[in-house]
Amino acid sequence: MDAQEAHRVTGNQTSLLELAWLFLKIGTIAFGGPPAHIAMMEEELISRRHWLTREQFLDFLGAANLIPGPTSTEMAIYVGRIQAGWLGLVVAGGCFILPSSLMVAALAWAYVRFGSLPQIAGVLYGVKPVVIAVIVLAVVKLAKTAVKSVWLGILGILAIVAFALGTDELLVLAGAGLLAAITYWLRTERNKSRASPLGFLVAGTTSAAGSAFSLGTLFLVFLKIGAILFGGGYVLVALIRANLVARLHWISEKQLLDAVAMGQVTPGPISTAATFIGYLLGGLPGAAVATVAMFLPAFFFVAVSGPVVPRLRQSPLAGAALDGVTVGALALIAVVAGQLARTAILDWITLLLAALSLFLLMKTRLNSVWLVAGGAAVGMIHVWLLR
């Protein structure tokens, strides 16, 4: 580990303007969902700015995967808190969410006006392979720090298999942390007392059925979803469907799928699907209310847990559990990257884009922003030539 990597970061190291600029940039160009967001944050925060060590970054990643809410947004909030205090927490999270929210609101306006989704397949055709390359490199670099032993490597492989088989994300992450902690305890304790199994219960509350739309009810629905959102995008779809389609009958199945598509094809957090739905139901006020309610729990959970994360390292047992969760989180990102690759690499052009992007990222200090822009240009040219 070099001197820069070993540098320990304390609070109030960064100006709010620099923090805002960085997360506005990431929120504007980070296509590809949470794995891409994490990868770009790794590049900017560790490789370029040296704001965090890889150990710190991985600790926050493990913590973000254990609390409800969108993981990449919570990573931004954690970084804002450690770099610029409580105001930095708000600035970093807000600036990361803002670009995607504005884009989704604009697309929702076009959707309502023209009755269908705007055609952006060309841009995505070229951007997705670049995103895959960014994710792969980030996973490799982070794994070098996270996999500290053969046992953690085995845990990572087991987690990959579990995720690939469709096991619930929270169960795998909690299981990896528990196994790592038990292993550490067995290795350090002389006695052979048997560890008792732990159970995990994640319960969501239900609200009374109703069909009359109001901004207040919209706020409460998305506040509840944000507060119990474990497990990522598919869980988000299930929660929105249960509340807004099946119970309240405010939107249709097609509108739900279109909302999720908007969250996926725009940069920034996928949870901005809430912005799209809010606009469909209540125009700009509805979009604002749904967005605030969706992300508010993430700010709260990070504010509460943020000061605790560095202290976990002071306890060897808690640190071992965090190591297990972190390896599990990297396994999840690796599996998602593989799933995305199947839809991103479609032909020799996209394969070449992915390979060239990975080569340039490994051999040069070229910012991924330029690669994303180049991929978008290639995609638009490809669609134009096919006309």
The number of beta carbons lying within 10 Å of the beta carbon of residue 148 is 14
What is the structure's pLDDT at 238? Answer: 66
Q: Which has more confidence, 205 or 326?
A: 326
What is the structure's pLDDT at 231? Answer: 52
Express each pLDDT in 306-364 by its tens digit. Answer: 777 777 667 788 778 878 877 887 887 788 778 768 877 888 998 999 999 899 988 88
Reported pTM: 0.65
What is the structure's pLDDT at 344? Answer: 79
Q: Which helix (H) or strand (E) holds 283?
A: helix 273-305
What is the structure's pLDDT at 110? Answer: 82
Q: What are phi and psi of 62, to 5 degrees?
A: -60, -45
What is the structure's pLDDT at 196? Answer: 41
What is the structure's pLDDT at 5? Answer: 41
CA 169 to CA 176: how far, in whole Å?
A: 11
- pLDDT at residue 378 tops 80: yes
What is the DSSP code string of 15-43?
-HHHHHHHHHHHHHH--SSHHHHHHHHHI
Q: Which residues touch 50 (CB under 8 Å, ≥6 apart)? A: 4, 5, 7
What is the structure's pLDDT at 96? Answer: 94
Report the pLDDT averaged over residues 261-272.
Answer: 73
Q: Which has more confidence, 293 or 383?
A: 293
Express each pLDDT in 210-237 by its tens digit. Answer: 568 899 999 999 998 888 776 555 557 7
Alpha helices in 165-272 (DSSP H): 169-188, 215-227, 233-240, 253-265
Express each pLDDT in 47-106 by its tens digit. Answer: 888 899 988 898 888 888 777 788 889 999 999 998 999 999 999 999 999 999 999 999
Q: In this prediction, what percent of the chain has a pLDDT beyond 90?
A: 25
Q: Which has more confidence, 7 or 241?
A: 241
The number of beta carbons lying within 10 Å of the beta carbon of residue 256 is 18
Report the pLDDT averaged over residues 366-377.
Answer: 78
Domain residue spans of the chain? 3-200+302-386, 215-296
Decide if 34 contacts 64 (C-beta within 8 A): no
Decide if 231 contacts 169 (C-beta within 8 A): yes
Q: Which has more confidence, 115 or 286?
A: 286
Identify the weakest region by mean pLDDT among 11-15, 243-247, 321-325: 11-15
Express each pLDDT in 121-135 by its tens digit. Answer: 677 688 778 878 877
What does each C-alpha distance from 132 to 126, 236, 374 come to in angstroms? 11, 23, 14
- pLDDT at residue 8 tops 50: no
- pLDDT at residue 301 tops 60: yes
What is the structure's pLDDT at 10? Answer: 45
What is the DSSP code string of 64-129?
HHHSSS-HHHHHHHHHHHHHHHHHHHHHHHHHHHHHHHHHHHHHHHHHHHHSS----HHHHHHHHH
- pLDDT at residue 24 tops 90: yes
What is the structure's pLDDT at 265? Answer: 65
**Confidence class of residue 203 from pLDDT cuts 50, 70 and 90?**
very low
CA 46 to CA 195: how far, in whole Å?
A: 38
User: 């304390």: which residue's tokens?
Assistant: 10
Express each pLDDT in 142-200 by its tens digit. Answer: 788 888 889 999 998 998 898 888 787 668 878 888 898 898 888 887 544 443 443 33
State the sign of the Cα–Cα–Cα–Cα dihedral 280, 285, 290, 292. positive
What is the structure's pLDDT at 76? Answer: 93
